[in-house]
Amino acid sequence: MPSLRPLKVLAAAALMIPAVAMAHHGWNWTEEKESRLSGTIVSIDYGNPHTSLELRNAQGVWDVDLAPPSASTRAGFVKGVAKPGDKAVLTGHRSRDAGELAFKAETITVGGKTYDVYPDRPKTLKPAG
């Protein structure tokens, strides 16, 4: 009789996929306190599930989530507005894990213009600019 062990391992792995995929979806992974983050854009991705970018500063390279592409577009943050090498200042929330360089941005200021990708969220910090 064949062993069911490989099937059990596969089933357990499949159950973990949604948890990993949802790890940075929403706001539960972030600190409550709003923070400011500034640095140089390394890369930008306008795809789903969120517009995202990498931002380099003295602490290292941060993984930054913005809003879904539709909300980023409504805010005016579209392809061509920012590019790698641009300086940016963001307001939002750091990861609760102090060892993780991850940030969920509510606003991004680049090229002297501020884009509020979450206009309905209450804010305690004023954007740069």
User: pLDDT tens digits, residue range 95-112?
Assistant: 999 999 999 999 999 999
For the chain, the maximum distance between any two Cα atoms, rounded to a whole number of angstroms, is: 70
Domains of the chain (ranges; CATH) run 29-116 (2.40.50.140)
CB atoms within 10 A of CB 80: 5
Count of residues in the chain: 129
CA dist 69 → 40, 59, 73, 86 (Å): 21, 27, 6, 20
DSSP 93: E
Query: In the chain, pLDDT over 70 holds for what percent of residues?
Result: 80
**Predicted TM-score (pTM) of this structure:** 0.79
CA 2/CA 103 separation, integer angstroms: 47
- Distance (Å, rounded) from C-alpha 18 to C-alpha 127? 34
The predicted pLDDT at position 22 comes to 44
CB burial of 113-126 (b: ≥16 within 10 Å; e: otherwise) equals ebbbbbeeeeeeee
Say whether pLDDT at 8 is over 80.
Answer: no
